[in-house]
Amino acid sequence: MTHDDLEKPVEGRLGKMRAAAARRRPRVDPAAVLAAAVLAVLAFGGVWAMVVTDPLGGQPVVTAAIERRGAPAPETAAAPETHAEAKPEAASRDGVPIVRPGDPMPKSGPVIIRVPGAEDGRTAKSGARAAPGEIDTALLEDSRYGGLPRVAADGRRPLDAYARGAETATGARVALVVGGLGVGREATLQALAALPAEVSVAFSPYGSDVADLVAKARGAGREVLLQAPMEPFDYPANDPGPQTLLTNLPASANLERLRWSLGRAEGYVGLAPLAGARFLETEPALQPIFVELARRGLMFIGGAPNRADKASPIAGQAGLPFARPAVVVDAASDAEGVDVALARLEREARSGKVAVGWATLSPLLLKRVDIWRAGLAERGVALVPVSAAGGAQTRS
């Protein structure tokens, strides 16, 4: 028996099995499949039309109720308007967006937040002087740094409006300015409570709550100045801090830094330097600063005592009220040195002009000033605010 003879029966059986399976497999008609799909779609559409009543097929819809009303009855006695129509508030200031509570915040960049009612406590009176603690909005200019001082449309200056005013004195007059306030809140509050009301105070711009402390000082009837950091001779080893006015910066950059300092508070009569010996000796840098201060109706107190420098003539050319300290009261750090300096300030006052003394806040200074001030009237010397040396017009 050969190999072929063995394979023939097996092949015969396999062939018969394949034929039987083919006869059992159902045949698929493509036309029937397509017809079934069409019928399914039509059936679904019919059900949707019967069940769903929305003719817009799910598109967004807003329903508004419209109520017809008759014409309103005419008013018999309409009260006349007593105020001008409010102007729409600006959406930005110097390119910085202004937002209000509830408005979407920008994703990046600076922003000004307008708090409703933040103008409370200010006044728009047109009198010559603001009452203690009041801010005359006619003397404010909006900026990205806050309200900046300006001359009002009627010519009033912040120097005049915020000056304390001094009683007419025929004898010697001294003005004392204590600087360095505003950095430590507790120390500042102690100084405001201890110093005589006639003593003017100057605030550093670096305190976190300078505006609040200035408002407290003014609310007590005290005269206020701000300090602006300026380049000293040993800069940068001695760096007054951020936003310092520098002799190597263009005028535009220094003016922006000045406005930052000016925007730290409101209601002050003038500016004093924080350091600044080199800056006050550099005419190209100083001249535009003095022009800006004069344009804003402020005074300036600064410069070295009893020494001719460039600050005074530049101030005169700019039309800026200027006062130079005659004595640095705390040049010596001991009690005897402070007492000697205060006595010298009195002698300077007998020359006929207001003698200005400058000092930096310290516990020692507060004690010596309290003792010195007690006998001034008996010695024929009047203590006046520093604006008296700057030519403030303080009539009521």
Lowest mean pLDDT among 110-114, 184-188, 230-234, 311-315: 110-114
pLDDT tops 70 at residue 140: yes
For residues 347-374, average pLDDT:
95
For residues 252-257, average pLDDT:
98
Model pLDDT for residues 316-352, shown as the tens digit of each residue: 999 999 999 999 999 999 999 999 999 999 999 998 8
Model pLDDT for residues 255-270, shown as the tens digit of each residue: 999 999 999 999 999 9
**pLDDT score for 88:** 47
pLDDT tier for residue 119 given thresholds of 50, 70 and 90: very low
Q: What's the token pair of residue 382?
A: 């009047």
With pLDDT > 70 as the criterion, what percentage of the chain qualifies?
Answer: 66
**pLDDT score for 305:** 87
For residues 94-110, average pLDDT:
61
Query: CA nearest 247: which of 225, 232, 264, 263?
Result: 232
Model pLDDT for residues 1-17, shown as the tens digit of each residue: 555 554 555 555 555 66
pLDDT tops 90 at residue 27: no
pLDDT tier for residue 93 given thresholds of 50, 70 and 90: low
Give the separation between CA 282 and CA 284, rounded to whole angstroms.
Answer: 6
3-state SS, one letter per residue, for the chain: CCHHHHHHHHHHHHHHHHHHHHHHCCCCCHHHHHHHHHHHHHHHHHHHHHHCCCCCCCCCCCCCCCCCCCCCCCCCCCCCCCCCCCCCCCCEECCEEEECCCCCCCCCCCCEECCCCCCCCEECCCCCCCCCCCEEHHHEECCCCCCEECCCCCCCCHHHHCCCCCCCCCCEEEEEEEEEECCCHHHHHHHHHHCCCCCEEEECCCCCCHHHHHHHHHHCCCCEEEEEEECCCCCCCCCCCCCCECCCCCHHHHHHHHHHHHCCCCCCCEEEEEECCCHHHCHHHHHHHHHHHHHCCCEEECCCCCCCCCHHHHHHHHCCCEECCCEECCCCCCHHHHHHHHHHHHHHHCCCCCEEEEEECCHHHHHHHHHHHHCCHHHCEEECCHHHHCCCCCCC
Q: What's the token pair of residue 142?
A: 């909006």
**pLDDT score for 133:** 86
Output 23 or 369, whichever has higher pLDDT: 369
User: For 163, what's the count of Cα atoms within 13 Å in the CB-facing half-sphere?
Assistant: 27
pLDDT tier for residue 72 given thresholds of 50, 70 and 90: very low
**pLDDT score for 330:** 96
pLDDT tops 50 at residue 19: yes
pLDDT tier for residue 370 given thresholds of 50, 70 and 90: very high
pLDDT tier for residue 308 given thresholds of 50, 70 and 90: confident
**pLDDT score for 94:** 55
**pLDDT score for 117:** 40
For residues 75-87, average pLDDT:
41
**pLDDT score for 50:** 55
How many Cβ atoms sit within 10 Å of the Cβ of residue 393?
A: 14
pLDDT tops 90 at residue 42: no
**pLDDT score for 178:** 98
**pLDDT score for 68:** 47
For the chain, give the mean pLDDT.
81
pLDDT tops 80 at residue 237: yes
How many Cβ atoms sit within 10 Å of the Cβ of residue 339?
A: 15
What is the pTM for the complete model shown? Answer: 0.69
With pLDDT > 90 as the criterion, what percentage of the chain qualifies?
Answer: 59
